[in-house]
């Protein structure tokens, strides 16, 4: 499996940020060309084919004179209603705050918002591959809002506000905790849909709010966070690292997953989830004995965990099989070595016999010559 792509993605795999940016840029170019192509047609009558294949369409319902247009990472407020082809309302959000590019709405809307201006109202038709894909979306709390598999959704969306986050706000404990956990919950949503690449992307965004190192927000010397607040952020951060590791394991990115669990174990050496996941990573990397040691420790910390006990039992069986195979291999190698040694001895013995035979031949030849000489002497004299 390609460690950068999830094979069971339920919608279009545009998790590569450069690819998303390219699609949005192409959409903006189409929008600009349409604006100048027919000055007689009103903006409200134009339909923009964002990616050029008819699966993501945007039509302006109410134009705006604002020059403010969102870019990736901006914080925006939107109000939108999503309907199925039969008119059934399945999504309804009022004054909803999101970061552009963080897939906090369906992918189609996330790509359409950067093409809007503040105050604009638009209709965005989103094919299922850019919405909820083959899985759809089950709503247990309100079944009428459930979205069937392969459903096209048409959104009526208004862009209310667009701004960049204030650097001063980013030092606030309340904002960092709120945003970090909001990103984590959204990443969990995508993880549960088997969209592991998107989940990884959003877990990393969560860490930007919760982490003080590795690309996170630097507190600086003027930080006014208390020890209790720092401890809260640390605990939230370790939860994210644990979840991130699990998503990375799912796409076989074992080296990255190992780094994620090490972040947890440095702070919490007895974190059973991190031990369990590190055990899985070591097993995947071929270190069965190392994996067993970690799972044994995790089992001691969580003796009632069936998943840990099951994995540990499998690893023990695997280890015994490996030991047996190793023993058989050594025995086979030893047997071959003995055969080779015996063959060498025979060869040595046969090579030792050759000079002896030659010596015997020389002796017999000398004796025969001597006997012949004596016989000739007697015959003559």
DSSP string, 53-92: SSSEEEEEEE---------TT-EEEEEEEEE-TT--EEEE
Q: What per-residue confidence (pLDDT) applies to 6?
A: 41
Can you list the residues of the chain whose pLDDT is less than 50? 1-11, 13-15, 17, 37-41, 214-215, 221-222, 368, 371, 374-381
> Can you tell me which residue has the tokens 């939108």?
80
Q: What per-residue confidence (pLDDT) applies to 42?
A: 55
> Can you tell me which residue has the tokens 């590791």?
245
Q: What per-residue confidence (pLDDT) applies to 170?
A: 79
Which residues are within 8 A (CB) of 242 and not within 5 positions of it... i.e. 6 or more apart?
260, 261, 264, 271, 273, 274, 277
> What does the angle CA 91 – CA 193 – CA 295 come to, to the nearest 5 degrees?
145
Q: What per-residue confidence (pLDDT) applies to 11?
A: 45
| Under 8 Å between Cβ of 312 and 296 | yes
Q: What per-residue confidence (pLDDT) applies to 341?
A: 65
Q: What per-residue confidence (pLDDT) applies to 361?
A: 56
| 98 half-sphere exposure, CB direction, 13 A CA radius | 27
> Can you tell me which residue has the tokens 């640390």?
234
Q: Is 96 helix (H, G, I), strand (E, B) or coil?
A: strand
CA 291 to chain centre: 21
Which residues are within 8 A (CB) of 326 and not within 5 positions of it... i.e. 6 or more apart?
none
CA dist 44 → 47, 61, 63, 87 (Å): 8, 5, 7, 21
pTM metric for this prediction: 0.76
Q: What per-residue confidence (pLDDT) applies to 32?
A: 56
pLDDT in tens, 299-316: 999 999 999 999 999 999
**The dihedral sign for the CA sequence 80, 85, 87, 88:** negative
Q: What per-residue confidence (pLDDT) applies to 94?
A: 98
Q: What per-residue confidence (pLDDT) applies to 141?
A: 87
Q: Which fold has domain 1-164?
A: Chitinase A; domain 3 (3.10.50)
Q: What per-residue confidence (pLDDT) applies to 46?
A: 87
Q: What per-residue confidence (pLDDT) applies to 208?
A: 93
Q: Give bridge partners of residue 163 from the DSSP assignment.
A: 75
Helix axes 196-210, 173-192, angle to 10 degrees: 170
For 55-64, b/e burial (b = at least 16 CB within 10 A) is bbbbebeeeb
Q: What per-residue confidence (pLDDT) applies to 39?
A: 45
Q: How many CB atoms lie within 10 A of CB 319?
A: 14
Q: What are the structural domain ranges in the chain?
A: 1-164
Q: What per-residue confidence (pLDDT) applies to 255?
A: 97
| 181 half-sphere exposure, CB direction, 13 A CA radius | 10
| Under 8 Å between Cβ of 123 and 155 | yes
Q: CA-CA distance, 131 to 138, in Å (whole number)?
A: 13
């Amino acid at each position: 499996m390609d460690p950068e792509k999830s094979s069971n993605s339920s919608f279009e795999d545009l998790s590569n940020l450069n690819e998303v940016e390219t699609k949005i840029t192409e959409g903006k170019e189409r929008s600009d060309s349409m604006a100048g192509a027919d000055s007689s047609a009103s903006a409200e009558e134009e339909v923009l084919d964002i990616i050029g294949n008819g699966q993501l369409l945007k039509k302006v319902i109410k134009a705006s004179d604002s020059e403010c247009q969102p870019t990736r990472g901006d914080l925006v407020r939107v109000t939108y209603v999503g309907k199925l082809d039969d008119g059934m309302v399945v999504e309804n959000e009022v004054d909803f705050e999101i970061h552009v590019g963080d897939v906090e709405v369906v992918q189609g809307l996330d790509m359409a918002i950067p093409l809007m201006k503040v105050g604009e109202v638009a209709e965005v038709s989103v094919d299922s591959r850019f919405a909820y894909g083959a899985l759809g979306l089950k709503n247990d709390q309100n079944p009428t809002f459930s979205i069937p598999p392969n459903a096209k959704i048409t959104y009526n969306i208004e862009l209310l506000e667009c701004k960049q986050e204030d650097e001063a706000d980013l030092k606030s404990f309340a904002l960092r905790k709120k945003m970090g956990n909001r990103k984590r919950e959204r990443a969990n949503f995508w993880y549960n849909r088997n969209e592991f690449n998107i989940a990884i992307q959003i877990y990393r965004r969560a860490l930007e709010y919760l982490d003080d190192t590795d690309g996170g927000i630097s507190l600086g010397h003027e930080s006014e966070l208390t020890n209790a607040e720092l401890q809260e952020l640390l605990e939230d951060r370790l939860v994210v690292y644990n979840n991130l590791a699990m998503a990375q394991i799912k796409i076989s990115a074992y080296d990255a997953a190992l780094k994620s669990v090490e972040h947890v174990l440095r702070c919490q050496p007895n974190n059973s989830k991190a031990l369990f996941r590190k055990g899985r990573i070591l097993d995947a990397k071929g270190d069965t004995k190392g994996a067993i040691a970690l799972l044994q420790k995790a089992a001691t910390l969580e003796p009632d965990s069936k998943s840990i006990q099951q994995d540990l039992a499998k690893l023990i069986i695997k280890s015994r099989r490996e030991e047996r195979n190793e023993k058989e291999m050594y025995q086979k190698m030893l047997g071959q070595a003995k055969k080779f040694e015996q063959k060498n001895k025979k060869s040595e013995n046969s090579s030792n016999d050759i000079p002896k035979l030659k010596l015997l031949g020389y002796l017999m030849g000398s004796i025969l010559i001597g006997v012949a000489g004596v016989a000739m002497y007697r015959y003559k004299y």
